[in-house]
Amino acid sequence: MELVNERKPRPPTNEDMLKAQIGDEFACVTNLDQKSMMDKSQWRRCVVRKVKKDLWEVLDESAMELLKEVLDIVGEDEGVSKEWGLWYVFPSEEDSDAALEAAKKGGDFEANDLRLQVSPNRAMLRWDSFEGQRKQAKIMQKRAQGSDGKFTVGDVVQVGLHWVDQTKVDGKNLTAVVVEVLDGGNLRCACKNGVLKNTYTPHTVSMLPGPSNNRVLCGLDSAFKEWQGLPKITEREAARVVSAVGGQGFNIMCHCNGSCDNKRCSCKKAGVLCSSKCHAGNLKCLNSSEE
């Protein structure tokens, strides 16, 4: 009823539904049984919530129970926003009166009471998720606007690492140089030890600002000039080379009792620093990040 009253002065239209933001909710009446859509006795009061760009949730009228998920199919006349007013209808006065009557009789008391108890928590979690998505969208939009979405060959950029390719102590981005702008606008980038296998849309990378956007200062001039002869590598492989601990999934432990200053130490031999897992309490180690 709150959603009905919010929209009552001007019930939502198809255009409103198409422009809906993630997290928006609308009261509606629909029939969940596709085989009896014409049977008005089977229609029930529901709440529809947009959860992704092309995905809606259909919930019961207390918004507590998920009844089904509906896709807005691109290029088709199917989905909540496209079928609004046909198979998803804004509640009429009769529907509103029926909802009030059910509430008065206590038919929905248990569900409403449960919603009052649980809703603040669920609302907070959903709002945090929504805010996180909106914040990320703003960051990506800012990146695109900062460079006008245009990159040229030779630009130095930061490529974000997926969490599965990161370690807890290393940076979350790879510094790379744009070596090719493809026909579709995607960017091919190279690091010191190879050309990244993936290509990147402009809004997924960020350009280094001002004087720092210099491939010579970043040690990428050689990679830029010789990229066609370099091997193709993954982000994880590229991150491993610049990692202080050998990269994600790289588990070398030396267990030395000495100074770890020669190749008898497996960490020193591999060119990585000793970690806390190698030899806790060994004060002689000279290959530690704490030396």
**Structural domain boundaries of the chain?**
2-134, 156-242, 251-291
Q: Collect all residues with Cβ–Cβ distance below 8 Å to 276 and sequence separation of at least 6.
A: none
Q: How many CA atoms, within 13 angstroms, populate the side-chain half-sphere of residue 62?
A: 17
pLDDT over threshold 80, residue 104: no
% of the chain at pLDDT higher than 70: 76
Across 280-284, average pLDDT: 81
Q: For 86-101, what is each residue's pLDDT tens digit?
A: 888 888 888 888 877 7
Q: Collect all residues with Cβ–Cβ distance below 8 Å to 273 and sequence separation of at least 6.
A: 244, 245, 267, 287, 288, 289
% of the chain at pLDDT higher than 90: 8
Can you give the pLDDT at residue 124? 66
H helix runs in the chain, sequence order: 2-7, 14-18, 93-104, 109-146, 221-225, 235-242, 266-270
Residue with tokens 């370099």: 230
Q: Which residue has the higher pLDDT, 43 or 6?
A: 43
Q: For 162-210, what is each residue's pLDDT tens digit?
A: 776 666 667 788 899 999 998 878 899 999 889 998 888 887 888 888 8
Mean residue pLDDT of the chain comes to 78
Residues belonging to the chain: 291
Q: What is the pTM of this model?
A: 0.39
Can you give the pLDDT at residue 145? 46
Can you give the pLDDT at residue 251? 57
Can you give the pLDDT at residue 112? 52
Q: Which residue has the higher pLDDT, 100 or 17?
A: 17
- Cα 113 to chain centroid, rounded: 34
Q: Which residue has the higher pLDDT, 234 or 40?
A: 234
Contact between 90 and 7 (Cβ < 8 Å): yes
Dist. CA 105–CA 126, nearest whole Å: 31
Q: What is the CA radius of gyration of the chain?
A: 28
Q: How confident is the model at residue 244 (pLDDT cuts 50, 70, 90)?
A: low
Q: For 147-175, what is each residue's pLDDT tens digit?
A: 455 788 999 998 888 776 666 667 788 89
Across 227-239, average pLDDT: 87
Strand partners, 263: none
pLDDT over threshold 50, residue 70: yes
- With H, G, I as helix, E, B as strand and everything else as coil, classify residue 165: helix
Dist. CA 38–CA 31, nearest whole Å: 9
- With H, G, I as helix, E, B as strand and everything else as coil, classify residue 36: helix
Q: How confident is the model at residue 106 (pLDDT cuts 50, 70, 90)?
A: low
Q: How confident is the model at residue 291 (pLDDT cuts 50, 70, 90)?
A: very low
Amino acid at 41: S
